[in-house]
């Protein structure tokens, strides 16, 4: 009996991998024990870092099994290449090693996340019959004693691989740029890569921001302690009370079969999903920031009221900030930014377009792309304005298409990324002629915020739908079968969803001064009030968890 209980605690269980997610009781028991041990050694930096590294590896093992070997592999590769980059005397040696670091990381990411997509698309496009078996993935599944999914579409990449891959790339590149010295202790570097609060779903942590904290003394002021509790409670409320509730009681049902619901219901599911994905993802990162702060580490804010954005460009300055800034600093600017198109720009856009052809499985599509490229080249040759616009916008489209493919290799994510890129390009032209751009009264702000929110929500149809057929059905229902006469009945039948959704938007659109007042009031409250609020929050959250622990949306990325 005791042996079975200990196995459940310490060994990976593929049937219960959600037990260490932030919205589970098991995690908070786990974190309480972690804090207990941490309180004994937190003043000794070296011991503290080793302790948290071991805890982080255990955490990753419990939710992903033996995939933690990939975490070790990535850590070892970039640790030694980081030293090589820093100590190389010749520029070509530095360049070679940073290219090697980026290439190895991207190959590992591509193999475990995209291999079957490309193999299946290649077979479709060229009529071949290459084996789609992911042999390394199969081996990991066997080690984890998990049922191997024979359907390639059900293969899941290692949890968090997109996030820790970008972190290790930033480490090598920051050393190459002279912004960072390599970490001397491999365990310290492993701790940076595997830090458990943000390991699975971010925020993506820059080496230049986090590594210096490894060697600073632990410090947590009274105000910061209250702030950490506030972040955690806010994150739990977003995830469980808002995101999970509206998804379970309305959104999931509509997206599963849009044709069974009216156009009005489809439209409200789309708007509801915008709130769900925000509350779900920002809820996770809020909790991660709060936990990290309790442990003495400061993570950057990842969301800043994104649905207050007045245009698409501002939205991407407020949404998933760690990814947006990573793409800007490590992709967009290096290939030319908004100044010019470079050789790298045209190589990358060619690779992306080829990827789109493979995803589609329709080879003639490449001829359309070639034809468009020829037309643009001719126009650019004789019309300087066209050439300038191509050069200043190609990098923007590359970045957004790459961001879409970062989420997964499917038409849905390609369209989602492409639409957002197109939205950014169109806004660049629109703001020059818009009669609203120079006005900042409540009416013009409301109009701009509303248009931006509707556009972003529309793109989410492709992000949320399991396939293009569902996305097409949803758009068809909204456009052709809106059925306004059913609105009263839908509102009455689903009033808990609509009330909760409305409450979420009201809170989101509150002026920042009101939100800051609520935050400061909690932080400055007496400790007895904090305890009472925490107990009340736990009770309310538990009432909303009757359906069990639900996965986070970005868990799949």
94 token code pair: 């530095």
* Mean pLDDT calculated for residue range 250-276: 95
240 token code pair: 């469980």
CA distances from 481 to 262, 266, 310, 466, 472 (A): 6, 10, 30, 21, 13
CA distances from 120 to 110, 154, 193 (A): 14, 13, 32
Contact (Cβ atoms closer than 8 angstroms) between residue 152 and residue 132: yes
Burial class (CB in 10 A: 0-12, 13-18, 19+), 19: middle
* Mean pLDDT calculated for residue range 150-172: 78
Of 325, 307, 360, which is closest to residue 506 (Cα–Cα)?
Answer: 307
CA distances from 411 to 117, 122, 401 (A): 11, 15, 11
* Sign of the torsion formed by the C-alpha atoms of 402, 407, 409 and 412: negative
Task: Tell me how long the chain is.
Answer: 557
| DSSP label at residue 364 | T
How does pLDDT run across 326-365, given as a tens digit for each residue?
999 998 888 887 777 778 888 888 877 777 777 666 677 8
| Residue 2, pLDDT above cutoff 60 | no
Q: What is the pTM of this model?
A: 0.91
φ and ψ at 145, to 5 degrees?
55, 40
How does pLDDT run across 283-314, given as a tens digit for each residue?
999 999 999 999 999 999 999 999 999 999 99
Mean pLDDT of the chain: 86
φ and ψ at 24, to 5 degrees?
-115, 150
How does pLDDT run across 9-58, given as a tens digit for each residue?
666 666 666 667 888 888 898 999 999 999 999 999 989 999 999 999 99
Specify the range with the lowest mean pLDDT, choosing from 227-231, 440-444, 517-521: 440-444
């Amino acid at each position: 009996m005791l042996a079975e209980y200990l196995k459940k605690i310490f060994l990976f269980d593929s049937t219960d991998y959600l037990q260490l997610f932030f919205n589970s009781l098991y995690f908070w028991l786990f974190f309480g024990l972690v804090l207990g041990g941490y309180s004994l050694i937190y003043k000794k930096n070296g011991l503290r870092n080793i302790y948290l590294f071991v805890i982080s590896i255990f955490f990753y093992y419990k939710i992903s099994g033996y995939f933690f070997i990939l975490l070790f592999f990535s850590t070892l590769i970039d640790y030694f290449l980081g030293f090589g980059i820093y100590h190389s005397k010749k520029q070509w040696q530095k360049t070679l090693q940073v290219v090697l670091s980026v290439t190895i990381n991207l190959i590992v990411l591509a193999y475990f996340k995209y291999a079957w997509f490309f193999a299946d698309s290649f077979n479709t496009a060229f009529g071949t019959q290459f084996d789609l078996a992911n042999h390394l993935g199969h081996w990991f599944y066997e080690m984890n004693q998990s049922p191997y999914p024979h359907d390639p579409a059900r293969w899941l990449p290692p949890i968090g691989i997109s996030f820790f891959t970008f972190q290790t790339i930033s480490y090598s590149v920051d050393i190459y740029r002279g912004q960072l010295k390599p970490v001397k202790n491999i365990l310290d570097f492993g701790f940076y890569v595997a830090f458990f609060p943000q390991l699975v779903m971010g925020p993506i942590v820059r080496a230049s921001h986090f590594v210096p904290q490894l060697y600073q003394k632990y410090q947590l002021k009274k105000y910061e302690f209250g702030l950490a509790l506030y972040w955690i409670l806010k994150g739990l409320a977003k995830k469980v009370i808002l995101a999970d509730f509206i998804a379970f009681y309305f959104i999931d049902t509509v997206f599963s079969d849009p044709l069974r619901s009216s156009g009005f219901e489809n439209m409200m599911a789309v708007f509801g999903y915008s709130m769900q994905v925000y509350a779900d993802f920002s809820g996770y990162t809020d909790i991660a920031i709060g936990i990290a702060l309790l442990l003495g580490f400061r993570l950057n804010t990842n969301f800043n009221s994104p649905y207050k954005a007045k245009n698409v460009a501002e939205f991407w300055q407020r949404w998933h900030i760690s990814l947006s800034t990573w793409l800007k600093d490590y992709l967009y600017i290096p290939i030319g930014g908004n100044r010019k198109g470079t050789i790298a720009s045209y190589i990358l856009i060619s690779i992306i377009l080829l990827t789109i052809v493979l995803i589609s499985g329709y080879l003639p599509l490449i001829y359309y792309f070639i034809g468009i490229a020829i037309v643009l080249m001719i126009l650019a040759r004789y019309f300087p304005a066209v050439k300038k616009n191509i050069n200043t916008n190609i990098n923007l489209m590359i970045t957004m298409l790459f961001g879409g493919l970062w989420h997964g290799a499917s038409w849905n994510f390609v369209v989602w990324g492409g639409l957002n890129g197109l939205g950014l390009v169109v806004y660049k032209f629109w703001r020059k002629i818009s009669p609203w751009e120079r006005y900042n009264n409540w009416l013009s702000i409301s109009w701009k915020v509303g248009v931006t929110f509707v556009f972003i929500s529309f793109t989410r149809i492709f992000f949320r739908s399991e396939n293009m057929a569902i996305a097409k059905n949803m758009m068809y229902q909204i456009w052709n079968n809106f059925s306004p006469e059913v609105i009263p009945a839908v509102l009455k039948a689903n009033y808990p969803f609509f009330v909760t959704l409305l409450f979420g938007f009201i809170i989101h659109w509150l002026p920042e001064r009101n939100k800051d007042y609520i935050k400061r009031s909690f932080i400055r409250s007496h400790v007895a009030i904090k305890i009472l609020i925490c107990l009340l929050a736990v009770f309310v959250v538990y009432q909303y968890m009757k359906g069990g622990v639900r996965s986070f949306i970005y868990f799949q990325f």
